[in-house]
A = this chain, B = another copy of it.
Amino acid sequence: MISLDHTFSALADPTRRAILARLALGEATVMELAQPFEMTQPAVSRHLKVLEGAGLIARRIDGSKRPCRLAPNAIAEIDQWLAILREALSKNYDQLDQVLATKPSGKRKDAP
């Protein structure tokens, strides 16, 4: 099972997010992915390793090429975790709504 630590930290890097965005258009090899970046091939290889370790991409073997594609597992796991926050946020919002509805002129401690 993939850890959220790895997944979120993989997504924290702009190069890696750009790689994922490129893969959203379809499979690509390491060189194809490296080409648009001002970065050496080994650097891209390491980013791909991070993305793979995070469960965000998968690779297959095609001769001497290693085409990459998006993998679904990590995204699903992230979504699941974010659901907790989303639910809490919508609940808080409802509560605030209620407070504003029931005490439209109540004191606010945080007012200046």
Contact = CB atoms under 8 A, between A and B. Distances in A.
Contacts of A84: 21, 24
A101 interface: no
Given A8-B8, A13-B5, A14-B5, A89 B72 contact: yes
Given A9-B9, A69-B92, A109-B62, A85 B14 contact: no
A61 B93 CA distance: 20
Contact of A62 (B5, B75, B78, B110): B110
B62 A85 contact: no
A6 B10 CA distance: 12
Interface string A1-16: 0001100110111100
